[in-house]
């Protein structure tokens, strides 16, 4: 990679946080539309270089994704000595505890190819519980290497994945070596020390079991180390487990540039997606929404829900995941199949990805970065208790109202101060983006619109010429 090459692929410069702290921009002030694909195992041999890695990147570029969420270090749900954590150069660390240059040689090629495609890598520095295995010193060494190699390029750093996760014996489907080692060391420490070195050489420092407060303190120390080490302005975020947000977990530290939360893979998470976005003080992104077809659920319509509810509720970006791509699974090895069987060759072409990337292209004809949630203009309206009600936002003379398919009433009411003079109302098909004239009845300072379909849809109101 070269700086001149990176500049050519990113003529607007690197990504930064807007002063208002609600949206992301390029260096020259051009709005940056965060549309991320999740690919936790991209740096491992599960996504071999050059193929199929390059073909997957090419497809995501063609679709219009702008960010790739990747792990540099150890990915989730595998032990540190698993072949699924290594690439052609081996593991991130050598057996003597030093950084493995050969591992990073392949990572260099892959990150370079992402940049060549105009896709911003969001680099995650291993997973949350790994700091209890490797120790703070080793995690800092990992981040020092990441910073040295990639801070000069248009990248985003993510402190860790699921900073607050404490895996149990079911993590990754089977009892993890970490849990076994912890038990052995408690019962027979002298013997377990030899056992540890012989059978788990990649787990450099013995497992310790810490409280959440201690865990957060460790990762906070690493985050401050990252900010101190950086010589370039790389935005920093952190990925967390469901129900909380990064800001809440770390008490809104000064090092956090992009707040985040995870809705996870459960329909019940609908109840707090809207709420989390409404309360954000920093740019906030749902870094782990429900993945398409994970557990055999969450199809294209669910992906559209995440996109439109997120965007119209104030999200600073949209992340997506396809079950089969995030873990690079195949029907041959059934990797992490406790989440459901999958194959990346099929998952790469799921319809939900196509729906949301086309939605991104459509909304960019407006000043989407100036969208302001306008929940109260529509009734019924979205709420924590009624997440399938419509959600609305305004952008200058345009209003956008997303109506999920779970809506039970045959019509919606829109309450605006404007008269219906020079108003154009269109129903937008969220698969094809073809429009159909929406007829309304004006009653008591509001318009009544009858729904034309049982599918989710978008009502676009434009005032003016």
pLDDT at 210: 53
- Tell me the pLDDT tens digit for each residue of 168-206: 755 554 333 443 333 333 333 333 333 333 333 444 334
Inter-CA distances, 382 with 32, 375, 425, Å: 27, 7, 21
Q: What is the DSSP letter of 245?
A: B
Q: State the average pLDDT for the chain.
A: 88
Two tokens at 418?
């404007």
Torsions phi, psi for 459 (to 5 deg): -100, 125
- Tell me the pLDDT tens digit for each residue of 421-465: 678 899 999 999 999 998 877 766 788 899 988 899 999 999 876
Helix (H) or strand (E) holding 12: none
Two tokens at 84?
């699924």
In 333-456, at which residue ranges do the beta strands (DSSP E only) sit?
372-373, 378-379, 391-395, 398-403, 411-415, 423-428, 435-437, 440-443, 446-450
Place of tokens 């290594």: 86
Q: What share of the chain is helix, strand, coil (3-state, %, to 5)?
A: 35, 20, 45
Reading phi first (left if > 0) and then psi (alpha if -120 to 50, else beta), residue 433 is in left
The C-alpha atoms of residue 32 and residue 241 are separated, in whole angstroms, by 26
Helix (H) or strand (E) holding 42: none
Low-confidence residues in the chain, pLDDT < 50: 173-209
Q: Say whether 374-463 and 3-363 share the same fold.
A: no
Two tokens at 278?
């409404």
Two tokens at 266?
């459960």
SS3 (DSSP) at 367: coil
Q: Which CATH architecture has domain 374-463?
A: Sandwich (2.60)
Output the DSSP codes for 70-128: EESS--TTS-TT-GGG-BTTB-SB-TTSSB-HHHHHHHHHHHHHHHHTT-EEEEE-SBT
The CATH number of the domain covering residues in 3-363: 3.20.20.80
Output the DSSP codes for 286-306: EEE-PPBTGGG---HHHHHHH
pLDDT at 170: 54
Query: Shortest CA distance to 77 belongs to which of 326, 396, 313, 258?
Result: 326
Domain spans of the chain? 3-363, 374-463
pLDDT at 188: 34
Q: pTM (2 decimals)? A: 0.90
pLDDT at 243: 86
Helix (H) or strand (E) holding 35: strand 34-38
């Amino acid at each position: 990679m070269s700086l001149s090459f990176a500049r050519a692929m990113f003529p607007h410069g690197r990504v930064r946080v807007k002063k208002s702290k609600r949206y992301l921009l390029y260096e020259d002030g051009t709005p940056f539309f965060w549309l991320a694909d999740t690919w936790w195992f991209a740096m491992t041999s599960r996504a071999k270089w050059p193929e199929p890695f390059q073909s997957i990147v090419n497809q995501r570029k063609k679709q219009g994704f702008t960010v790739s969420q990747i792990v540099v270090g150890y990915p989730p749900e595998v032990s540190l000595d698993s072949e699924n954590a290594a690439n052609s150069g081996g593991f991130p660390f050598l057996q003597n505890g030093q950084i493995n240059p050969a591992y990073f040689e392949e990572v260099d090629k892959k990150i370079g190819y992402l940049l060549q495609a105009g896709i911003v890598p969001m680099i995650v520095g291993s997973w949350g519980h790994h700091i209890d295995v490797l120790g703070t010193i080793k995690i800092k060494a990992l981040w020092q290497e990441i910073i040295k190699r990639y801070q000069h390029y248009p990248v985003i750093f993510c402190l860790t994945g699921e900073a607050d996760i404490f895996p149990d014996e079911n993590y990754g489907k089977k009892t993890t070596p970490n849990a076994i080692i912890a038990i052995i060391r408690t019962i027979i420490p002298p013997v377990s020390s030899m056992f540890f070195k012989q059978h788990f050489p990649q787990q450099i420092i013995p497992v310790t079991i810490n409280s959440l407060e201690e865990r957060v303190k460790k990762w906070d120390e690493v985050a401050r180390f990252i900010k101190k080490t950086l010589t370039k302005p790389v935005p920093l975020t952190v990925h967390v487990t469901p129900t909380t947000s990064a800001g809440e977990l770390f008490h809104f530290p000064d090092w956090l540039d992009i707040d985040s939360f995870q809705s996870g893979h459960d329909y019940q998470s609908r109840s707090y997606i809207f709420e989390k976005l409404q309360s954000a003080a920093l740019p906030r992104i749902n870094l782990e929404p429900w993945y398409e077809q994970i557990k055999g659920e969450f199809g294209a319509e669910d992906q559209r829900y995440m996109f439109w509810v997120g965007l119209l509720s104030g999200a600073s970006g949209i992340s997506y995941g396809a079950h089969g791509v995030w873990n690079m699974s195949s029907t041959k090895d059934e990797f992490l199949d406790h989440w459901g069987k999958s194959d990346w060759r099929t998952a790469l072409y799921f319809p939900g990805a196509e729906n949301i990337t086309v939605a991104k292209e459509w909304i960019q004809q407006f000043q989407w970065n100036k969208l302001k949630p306008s929940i109260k203009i529509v009734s019924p309206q979205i709420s924590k208790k009624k997440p399938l009600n419509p959600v609305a936002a305004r952008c200058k003379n345009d209003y956008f109202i997303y109506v999920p398919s779970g809506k039970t009433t045959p019509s919606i009411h829109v309450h605006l101060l404007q008269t219906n003079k020079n108003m154009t109302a269109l129903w937008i098909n969220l698969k094809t983006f073809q429009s159909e004239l929406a007829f309304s009845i004006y009653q008591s300072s509001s318009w009544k619109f009858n729904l034309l379909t049982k599918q989710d849809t978008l009502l676009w109101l434009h005032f003016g010429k």
